[in-house]
Structure formats: structure tokens, C-alpha cells
């Protein structure tokens, strides 16, 4: 079984004759360490899918297995929330930082909420990788948007999740800051061998992924590997060879 197995996932909102099928039998699987971008028009079901993957919502039909464990259907909320805390990190478009806590306190918050102390070495490593070491005592209001999102990424990684989910993580940033946040996200995911699923409208960000899944009206209409610069260079060279 793959790291993440999504099978026939169906989410219908509303009741009786006023229903909307936001996801319609969506199936795919993701290998450990993969970086998948989810794209699609507004209303196509991207956030709905991410919420289900994150066990924040329940489907009418279908299943999600994360590391061979069934994560959504028929599980009690108490069990789901433990599962969520231990295995899944979230990054949203809004940073949702606690305004009265400084950078390192915000990052440590999920661990503290669990009544534990964060390994100081791991905290240093996160601050360093996210370029926040010299901002560690700053409050959110003293940070730029990109820095705030980097803190939110640190917080999502605090509990060492195996799956990181991000819904439009660069939606509030300008293009340049967005790309910078994405490359930091990508680097941290590689460093800690995580699996990353990012919802995005931005083709430049989707092209950073290993694979892009496109939704339309709650259905997967395409699921394709991304050709990266290296392979593009190789094919360009192949083309030149053929020409010569
Ligand atoms: N709580 C809800 N109750 C009823 N309908 C909902 C609810 N949440 C979402 N929907 C509907 O489900 C569909 C999918 O919504 P979703 O938020 O997943 O789209 P999205 O692809 O994330 O869009 P966007 O790019 O605008 O964020 C939309 O038609 C939306 O109106
Ligand atoms: Mg959305």
C-alpha cells in the first residue's frame, strides 16, 4: 500500500434536493517523499479534498489510508484529532499566528499544547532552515508576510509530521515572496523526508512539484508528473543532437 491511499472519496454538502457534490469518487495514491500540487478552478473541490486528507472533515463515501491506517471514515473525533496531531502538519493561506507569542514560541506551540517540550536541537534546526534564527524573539506584527508564513511552516513541522498539507500557502504573498516560501517549504520537506501536498492556483508553484493533480467539479481530470528543468535540458540537448 502506498504512503497515502485515497479511494472513491466523495463529499456531498447540503441535504435532500439542495445538495452539492464537492468531490465525486476521487482516487489517487501518493508515495512517501512525493511533492504533489493540487490545482483547479475556484470551487473545484481542492480545499474540500485537503480537509478530508487532514481528517478535519468526513466524507459520505470512500476512504483515506495514511501509512496503512484508515484516517477518516467511521473514526471518532477524539481518535482523529490524535491522528492529526501526530501525523499531519497544516499550512494555510492565513498564517494564524498567536500575536502575543514570539517566533520561537509560535513554532513550539503545538508541542506545548501536547504538554511536551520541543527538542531544542530540532527547534534550532527549524529556525535555521526557515531563515528565522535572527528573528526568533520577534512578534508576528514585526514580521513580513513571507516571514510570518515561514513561522507557520515551522509550527506545522513542530510535531514532526509525516504528511504536510498546505492550502494556498502563498495566496497572501507577492510572486517573489511566494516562490521563496515555496522553496523553503520544499527544502524543509526534503530535509525531514516528508510528503507534501500543496493546493495552489499558481502555475509557477505547481511546476515546482513532482506531480500535479487537477480537479474540475470534484473530479480528477488530470494527474501528471512534472518534467523538471533537468529533464527539459536533456530533451533540449536531444533535440540539438538530432538537428546536428
Ligand atoms: N461547508 C460547505 N457547505 C456547502 N458547500 C460547500 C461548503 N464548503 C464548500 N462548499 C462548496 O463545495 C465546492 C468546493 O469547494 P472548495 O472550497 O473545496 O473549492 P476550492 O477548489 O478550494 O475553491 P477555491 O479555489 O475558491 O478555494 C464549492 O462549490 C463550494 O461552494
Ligand atoms: Mg479553497
Summarised one tens digit per residue, pLDDT across range 157-203 is 999 999 999 999 999 999 999 999 999 999 988 999 999 999 998 99
- The CA dihedral of 138, 97, 71, 111, to the nearest 10 degrees, is 40
Taking the mean position of all CA atoms in its chain, how far away is CA 111?
A: 19
pLDDT tens-digit readout, 42-52: 999 999 999 99
pLDDT at position 235? 44
Q: Which ligand is nearest to the CA of 51?
A: 1
What is the reported pLDDT for 82? 77
pLDDT at 241: 42
Task: Please say if the pLDDT value at position 239 is more than 50.
Answer: no
Supply the residue whose CA is at minimum distance from atom 5 of ligand 1. 13
Q: From CA 144, how far away is CA 236, in angstroms rounded?
A: 39
- Ligand 1 atom with least separation from CA of 199: 22
Q: Is the CB of 113 under 6 A from ligand 1?
A: no
Asked whether residue 63 carries a pLDDT value surpassing 60, the answer given is yes
Total Cβ atoms within 10 A of residue 79? 12
Is the CB of residue 11 below 6 angstroms from any atom belonging to ligand 1? no
**pLDDT score for 233:** 46
Task: State pTM to two decimals.
Answer: 0.90
pLDDT of 228 reads: 78
State if residue 20 touches ligand 1 by the CB under 6 angstroms criterion.
Answer: yes
Q: How far apart are the first and last CA of the chain?
A: 47
Beta strands of the chain (E only): which ranges? 4-15, 18-30, 35-40, 61-66, 69-70, 88-91, 163-167, 195-199, 211-216, 219-225
> What is the average per-residue pLDDT within 199-214?
94
- Percent of the chain past pLDDT 70, that is, above it, reads 92
How many angstroms separate the Cα of 227 from the Cα of each of 177, 207, 213, 232? 24, 8, 14, 7
What is the average pLDDT across 55-84?
Answer: 82
Task: Please list, in sequence order, all residues whose beta carbon lies within 8 angstroms of the beta carbon of residue 120, skipping any fewer than 6 positions away.
Answer: none
- Mean confidence (pLDDT) of the chain: 90
Q: Is the CB of 108 under 6 A from ligand 1?
A: no
Ligand 1: centre distance to CA 19 (Å):
12
pLDDT the model gives residue 217:
97
Average pLDDT of 104-123? Answer: 94
CB 187 within 8 A of CB 129: yes
* pLDDT number for residue 69: 83
CA gap 84, 181 in Å, rounded? 24
pLDDT for 238 equals 46
DSSP secondary structure string for all residues of 9-33: EEEEEEETTEEEEEEEEEEEEE-TT
What is the arithmetic mean of pLDDT over 106-128? 94
Buried b (16+ CB within 10 A) or exposed e, 105-140: bbbbbbbeeeeeebeeebbeebbebbebeebeeebb
Looking at the CA of 216, name the nearest ligand.
Answer: 1
Structure confidence at residue 114 as a pLDDT band (50, 70, 90) = confident
pLDDT at 230: 59
Any ligand 1 atom below 6 A from CB of 22: yes
* Residue pLDDT, tens place only, 26-38: 999 999 999 999 9
Beta-carbon contacts of 115 under 8 Å, excluding residues fewer than 6 positions away, are none
- The response to whether residue 214 sits with its C-beta less than 6 Å from ligand 1 reads no
Amino acid at each position: 500500500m502506498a504512503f497515502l491511499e485515497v479511494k472513491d472519496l466523495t463529499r456531498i454538502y447540503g441535504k435532500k434536493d439542495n445538495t452539492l457534490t464537492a468531490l465525486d469518487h476521487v482516487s489517487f495514491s501518493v508515495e512517501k517523499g512525493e511533492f504533489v500540487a493540487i490545482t483547479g478552478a475556484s470551487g473545484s473541490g481542492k480545499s474540500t479534498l485537503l480537509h478530508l486528507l487532514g481528517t478535519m472533515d468526513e466524507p459520505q463515501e470512500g476512504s483515506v489510508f495514511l501509512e496503512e491506517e484508515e484516517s477518516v471514515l467511521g473514526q471518532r473525533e477524539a481518535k482523529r484529532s490524535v491522528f492529526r496531531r501526530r501525523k499531519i502538519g497544516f499550512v494555510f493561506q492565513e498564517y494564524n499566528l498567536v500575536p502575543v507569542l514570539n517566533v520561537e514560541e509560535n513554532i513550539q506551540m503545538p508541542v506545548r499544547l501536547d504538554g511536551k517540550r520541543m527538542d531544542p536541537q530540532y527547534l534550532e534546526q527549524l529556525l535555521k532552515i526557515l531563515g528565522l534564527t535572527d528573528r526568533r524573539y520577534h512578534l508576528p506584527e514585526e514580521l513580513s508576510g513571507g516571514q510570518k508564513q515561514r513561522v507557520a511552516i515551522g509550527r506545522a513541522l513542530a510535531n514532526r509530521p509525516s504528511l504536510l498539507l498546505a492550502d494556498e500557502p502563498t495566496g497572501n504573498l507577492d510572486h517573489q515572496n511566494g516562490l521563496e516560501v515555496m522553496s523553503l517549504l520544499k527544502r524543509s520537506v526534503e530535509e525531514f523526508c516528508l510528503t507534501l501536498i500543496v493546493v495552489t492556483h499558481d502555475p509557477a508553484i505547481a511546476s515546482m512539484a513532482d506531480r500535479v493533480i487537477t480537479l474540475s467539479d470534484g473530479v480528477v481530470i488530470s494527474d501528471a508528473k512534472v518534467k523538471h528543468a533537468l529533464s527539459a535540458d536533456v530533451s533540449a540537448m536531444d533535440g540539438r543532437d538530432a538537428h546536428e
